[in-house]
Amino acid sequence: MSTIGKALALLDTLSRLDKEAGLTDIARLCALDKATARRFLVELEKHGFVEQDPDSRRYRIGSAPVRLARIREARFPFLRIAIPFIKALAESSTETVHLSEFSGGRLSTIHVEDSPRAHRIIVDVGSLLPFHATASGLAFLAFCPQTEIEAALAKNLERFTDSTVTDPQLVRAALDETATRGFSISHQGLETGVISTAAPVRTPSGRPIGCVAIAAPLSRTTKTAIQEFGALAVATANAISEKYYGSERPTGTIPDIRRRD
């Protein structure tokens, strides 16, 4: 990995911590020696990407990423446009609804609307969504070009629960079902006791940019309910696409980029 890549990986690691961290912990988490980690932190601090508390000497994310995020959202208001639709879906489903976006080769959660029920699924903003083990990942990958599907399935498919599907052939079958149906279903793929369904938000050409997902406790979700949630996720994802891109809507259930040679 390049020097810039290592520095950005450090910044990414710091962003995922739920509290400030010291130099020793940061170096350990990033598999760096302390001298290298300190050098990266000093440079990142100069440019406002990290801050060091003057009393505790611990580090946290700085204001520069926030500034850049605000500029990006002002120019490409995906989140602002999507949130009202996500809120409406959460109200109608009474389950946890989350929105993800693809960036840097990864799919991550960018907004969550919690279920009002006492027994509900908790999803954290910023959490990564493995392609093979989550409804969002399956929904996203199902509408990607075949070369990207094969590249994703060639990697190590981590097992998170006893129900996680790690056989590439079985994942391919799930992707075909998802593309035909329009939405995915993940049955305890990432977390035991959770069932989720998701649909992709797509560009006018059909390429996915993120997903809308509904996550519910398995104990109260029937087969009928999950089918209804899937249809609602599709309608919401399509509404976000139409609002974001205007009248140019994605064409076809399975875009041309999914064709096999």
- DSSP characters over 201-254: EE-TTS-EEEEEEEEEEGGG--HHHHHHHHHHHHHHHHHHHHHHHTT----SSS
- Give pLDDT tens digits for 66-113: 898 888 888 888 999 999 999 999 999 999 999 999 988 999 999 999
* Nearest CA-CA partner of 175 in 204, 206, 132: 132
Architecture of domain 3-66: Orthogonal Bundle (1.10)
pLDDT at res. 193:
96
User: For the domain bounded by 76-246, which CATH number is listed?
Assistant: 3.30.450.40
Chain-centroid distance, C-alpha 171: 18
Q: Where are the domains of the chain?
A: 3-66, 76-246
pLDDT at res. 217:
97
Res 201 pLDDT > 50 = yes
- The residue type found at 180 is T
- Give pLDDT tens digits for 143-183: 999 999 999 999 999 999 999 999 999 999 999 999 999 99
Tokens, residue 224 = 């009928």
Contacts of 136 (CB under 8 A, 6+ apart): 98, 100, 107, 129, 184, 196, 198, 211, 213
Are 235 and 92 contacting, i.e. CB atoms less than 8 angstroms apart?
no
Question: From residue 31, how far is each of 25, 40, 121, 205 by CA, in Å?
Answer: 10, 13, 32, 40
Are 131 and 107 contacting, i.e. CB atoms less than 8 angstroms apart?
yes
Q: What is the mean pLDDT of the chain?
A: 91
Are 65 and 49 contacting, i.e. CB atoms less than 8 angstroms apart?
yes
